[in-house]
Structure 1
Amino acid sequence: MFLQQNRGSGRRRGRVRAAGVSLAATAALLAGCSGGGDSGRGDGTLIVYTGQAGDYQINFNPYAPARLDGDGTIFESLFFYNLTKNEEPQPRLGTEYAWNEDGTELSVTLREGVTWSDGEKFTADDVVFTLDMIDKHPTLNAVGFEGEATAVDDTHVKITFDKPSFLDGPYVLGRVWMVPEHLWRGIKDPSKDVIREPVGTGPFALDTFKPQAFTLKANPDYWDGEPAVKRIRYLSLSGNQAGADALAAGKIDWQTGPVPDIAGVEKNYPGYRAITVPMNQTVLMTCAEKDRGCEGPQTDPAVRKAIYHALDRTQLNELAFQSTSSAISPGFALPERDKALLSDGLGDRLAPMQPQVSEAAQLLEEAGYTKNGEGIYAKDGKAVELTIKVVTGWTDYITAVDTMGQQLKKAGIKVTPQQLSWNEWSDARGQGRFELLIDSLYQGPSADPFYLYHYFYSSETTAKVGETAQPNYSRWSDTRVDRALAALKGIDREDTAGRQPHFDAIQEALEEEMPYIPVLTAGTTSEYNAEKFTGWPSEEDLYAFPAVWQRPDHSEIFKRLKPAG
């Protein structure tokens, strides 16, 4: 689905395939990437597949939308938050933190004895420099951080805010990747530099880079001890089928994405196991805001909402996702984790699983659309014809958009899939060069929907078409949402009654305007080699969100894994 955060943003998922790739061809490619057959398989090397299709383009800037890796593995945050549970964060570069009573001052104690991978000492000055850097560069500032950081001494930082800012805490503590002042202060534009030779404090460092594969190596001087996994090799393959073939051949150890017969992984791939966790939300992204340069029928909320009602989500789940996805709320609070926060003011607490074609028709006709001779709705001589961008090889998403095309045609809406390389797709998403684009919205630094709302719906995180949005790719914003987000930042998370009216306002605005058309809550499935490595997350011990593209959760998993035997 995405490399995220991202896919995505890659964040974040691995969804790739190339038609007709044979097992022998896949094995040959893997052998070539690894330097020959199974070389390195006995030295603690973990081979992962994120879904990358096509050559890698070097980029280890943890703040770049198209980064390959680095956040969590090479560059660290102060603490680690587990997205699957509402629990206290685990120390990383920080050891303790505390808010003052009114949420205007955050004090952080740093770990002693930490060094950068080039041997320089990590100090509070690096933390202050990093926070000042993201404050000065809006494209790096995912939640609108406006604090002022001060180094009290080498191991203590004080961050002050002009107003209560409790919800800045998980972001500042868990998603700001600390960078070395002695190297980064000379970078003119840190949002664009690709950082070819990354220097961090993390458990891993860059070893080798080639367009077909890159390798991280264990940091022998890591403050928490050298990891048991000595190398992590990232492969670029040709797609989902190639990934499934590689699993069958025992050539990769971890991938996140679909394989045929997900329920039968242990039988079909001896030594491997699978885990599925609902978390990110599959959407049709729309370039929604005309005032920011978007063009096309999708700029009309009536068209967006008609698409929402015309989708047959049950069929999509069965055909594209092997029924691993689940219901989604148009208010974008997670139906299970955030059940208590779902607004009573929503028209649909959950998106309909069956198509509502008559509802879609009514929305379009009330907005002035009529069907042309081809049965497609049109207005002012312009038909509702749209292109959906999808990454070549992401077979589940390709199946999904193909199926959507058939479903939407019944509702008088014509959509045409357009397959692109990941680099082309990512660039189009970031620059707003699309009408529709299939991807997922990812969660924030802790188990709280505030962060998803701020990431994808805030005026502070978007830009005009042609400029980089990070990550409000829809270009849509609303004063009601901005006001509610500003209010939520100043309310302690324990004050559930005080927060709910603001969540209500956000969710109701999102349902009304629908800049991201909700499809399903994705069941994120990973297949992993339990025979060669131990310590994987399980349903009983879900210590991190187990997706190979999820940063920094993947680094927490890398740290805990051990070669079996």
Structure 2
Amino acid sequence: MMFQQARRGRRRAAAVAAVVLAALTAAGCAGGSGSGGRDDTLVVYTGQSSDYQVNFNPFSPNLIEGPGTIFEPLFFYNVVRNDPPAPRLGTAYSWNATGTELDITVRDNATWSDGVKFTAADVVYTLDLISKNKALNTTGYAGQARAVDDTHVAVTFPEPSFMQGPQVLGRIFIVPQHLWKDIANPVTDPVKNPVGTGPYQLDDFKPQAFTLKANPHYWGGEPAVKKIRAVSLSGNQAGADALAAGTIDWQTGPVPDIKDIEKNYPGYKAAITPLNQVALFTCSNAQLGCTGPQTDPAVRKAIYYALNRTQLNSLAFENTSTPISPGFALIGRDDKLISGKLHDRTAPMSPDTAKAAQVLAEAGYTKGADGVYARNGTPLALSVKVVAGWTDYITAVDTMAQQLQRFGIKLTAEQLSWNEWSDARGRGQYQLLIDSLYQGPAPDPFYLYSYFFSSKNTAPAGQVANPNFGRFSDPAVDAALAALDKIDGKDTAARQPYLDTVQTRIEEVMPYIPVLTGSAISEFNAAKFTGFPTKDDVYAFPAVWGRPDASQIYIHLKPAG
């Protein structure tokens, strides 16, 4: 299996380290103490395994950077724990009693990186931009904003919209009106020269690496980490080799023998945080143009029951993943909200092949002489897209293929570059695809549901959906989400019937086949930088690809010594 190969690779890391160092140096990514770079330059690897394509548009599903670092939200919400939101461009907010007006105070000491003063008008422009462009409106924003004066914004909603608060405040990244008003198509423009209010600015871009530099005029003070350099490597093994060589300072991805990180990689520490839910995404909706066996809910349910999640966790994820609920409330954080009406509170860790066989039999599938299920003469064969170099996901797909082959479903892995994979995901040009469902701006499952299960966030196959990539559309779920949006998040009793509707329906239809709750596994250079989140102080989700979470960490870091 892949991790066995990785462990064999670990023994050759010393030999490979020189190669990795040479590659990073060629990309302008290495240096030494006093070299003008390494002491205050943080080198990060976000998992990019092919050349970067310029895209700093904070609303694009294919962006490479920007949210939090260059373009700021109004507040930062910690999705790991229930902290009060931290001010960014906003300093205070309040709701009226009915949840129909959100009043926001924005700071008066922020400027855009081109020197133009930031005002409430920029916030209003950004919110209006989202209203006018459905493809940009990934949070379901339905308000009307107006600038009361330069530091106050009033957002009114046609009906109670309490749950919109963290969306507006924490997941919409404010852009400069004076520049964006001239962008012909803000949906597709890659924003090659981004101008923001954030702690960092774009310094240099190359396909193999790009660099952000500290904003000397940042309202919060110039960050202590003067440069952040993001590099493209060939995959997880290259990331582990770069750690061994000491040429990257922070990555979020698997390394062999994670429990011995400090022994195997002197000076580095690890953070393991279960949060994002790994799933087999399916292009599920034939009415929206999806084609293939995966459009049959029976096929999706059979795969769900046939998986051996205990084996998957061991072989692909070094036992760092945790159980997952088929209703996609987060185990642990959301325990009180998990529906008692679910058939399975958590997905079975051991395969239930009898149940899987029953589901297929009831749908008209029979097993042929070759051991593969078929219906109307068509074998049950599926492809699953995975990013080349993502060894944990590749191992997971290979393991699932073996498990399903023994059961009677043929699964074929298709490795793609990240750019190809991301494009296929957005356009629904896939049968199955391995990815994870991410959380929203606040620690509440409503946001994940509103992102991945709302009809508002999907599109016909061939058009870009963001982020309801599974093309799921269900009137009962849409109605439940609309009702939840109107209820104060603290009113659990009033919310639960609607949460029950969402969870039971998505368990029944299963457009995203639950695999495991994946842990973000980050390794960071504690010998060179201080201030990373610790087990006792997870002040932000510690994933280098987390946005805007990584930016919150960057501004906490300081070069050691």
What residue number does 1:4 align with?
A: none
| Structure 2 residue 443 is the aligned partner of structure 1 residue 454 | no
Specify the alignment match of 2:18 in structure 1: 24
Question: What letter corresponds to residue 95 of structure 2 in structure 1?
Answer: W
Which residue, 417, 421, 428 being the options, matches 2:417? 421
> Is 2:136 the counterpart of 1:143?
no
Aligned residue for 2:67, secondary structure, equals coil
Q: Equivalents in 1 of 2:360, 2:535: separation in Å?
A: 44
Which of 470, 473, 484 does residue 474 from structure 1 map onto?
A: 470
Judge conservation of contact 2:339–2:503 (CA < 8 Å) in 1: yes
Shift of 1:410: 1.7
1:16-95 residue pairs with structure 2 within 5 A?
22-34=16-28, 37-38=31-32, 39-95=35-91
Does 2:512 align with 1:516? yes
Q: TM-score, normalised by structure 1?
A: 0.96
Match of 2:283 among 280, 287, 310: 287
Separation in structure 1 between the aligned mates of residue 476 and residue 534 of structure 2, nearest angstrom: 40
**Residue 186 (structure 1) shift:** 1.1
Q: CA RMSD in A?
A: 1.3
* Structure 2 CA distance for aligned equivalents of residues 266 and 210 of structure 1: 32
Cα contact 1:23–1:242 (8 A) shared by 2: no
The answer to whether residue 118 in structure 2 is matched with residue 111 in structure 1 is no
1:381 is displaced (CA, Å) by 1.8
The AA in structure 2 aligned to 1:307 is I
The 2-side partners of 1:455 and 1:146 are apart by 14
Q: Give 1:40 shift.
A: 4.1
CA deviation profile, 1:66-97 (whole Å, cap 9, x unmatched) = 10100000000100000011232011100000
Partner of 1:13: none
Q: How does 1:346-495 map to 2 (within 5 A)?
A: 346-495=342-491
Alignment map for 1:174-213 (pairs within 5 Å): 174-213=170-209
| In structure 2, distance between residues paired with 1:335 and 1:546 | 19
- Cα gap change, 1:249/1:36 in structure 2, threshold over 3 Å: closer, same or farther? closer
Contact 1:43 1:230 in 2 (8 A): no
Question: How far apart in 1 are the matches of 2:469 and 2:438?
Answer: 13
Q: How far 1:41 moved relative to its partner?
A: 3.9
The one-letter code of the counterpart of 1:312 is: N
Unmatched 5+ stretches in structure 2? 1-8
Q: Does 1:266 align with 2:262?
A: yes
Partner residue, 2:237: 241
Would the alpha carbon gap of residues 310 and 464 (structure 1) be closer, same or farther in structure 2, given more than 3 Å must change?
A: same
After TM superposition, give the deviation of residue 399 of structure 1 in Å. Answer: 0.5
- The number of aligned residues is 549
Query: 1:342-364, CA deviations, whole angstroms, 9 ceiling, x for partnerless residues?
Result: 00000000000001111100000
Q: Give distance in 2, aligned partners of 1:200 and 1:35.
A: 24
Distance across 1 between alignment mates of 2:29 and 2:418 = 25
Q: Deviations over 1:419-477 (max 9, x none)?
A: 00000000000000000000000000110100100100000000000100000000111
- Equivalents in 2 of 1:317, 1:36: separation in Å? 35
Partner of 1:171: 167
TM-aligned CA deviation for residue 35 of structure 1: 5.9
Q: Alignment partner of 1:465: what SS?
A: coil
Structure 2 distance, partners of 1:369, 1:98, is 56
Structure-2 separation of matches of 1:246 and 1:534: 20
Is 79-88 or 321-330 further displaced after alignment?
79-88
* Cα distance, 1:492–1:427 mapped onto 2, change above 3 Å: same
Q: Check whether the contact 2:18–2:245 (CA below 8 A) recurs between aligned residues.
A: no
Q: Percent identity?
A: 63
Distance in 2 between the 1:24 and 1:277 partners?
Answer: 31
Q: Matched residues in 2 for 1:539 and 1:43: separation?
A: 25
In structure 2, what is the Cα distance between the partners aligned to 1:189 and 1:316?
Answer: 43
**Partners of 1:30 and 1:37 within 8 A in 2:** no
Letter in 1 for 2:519: G
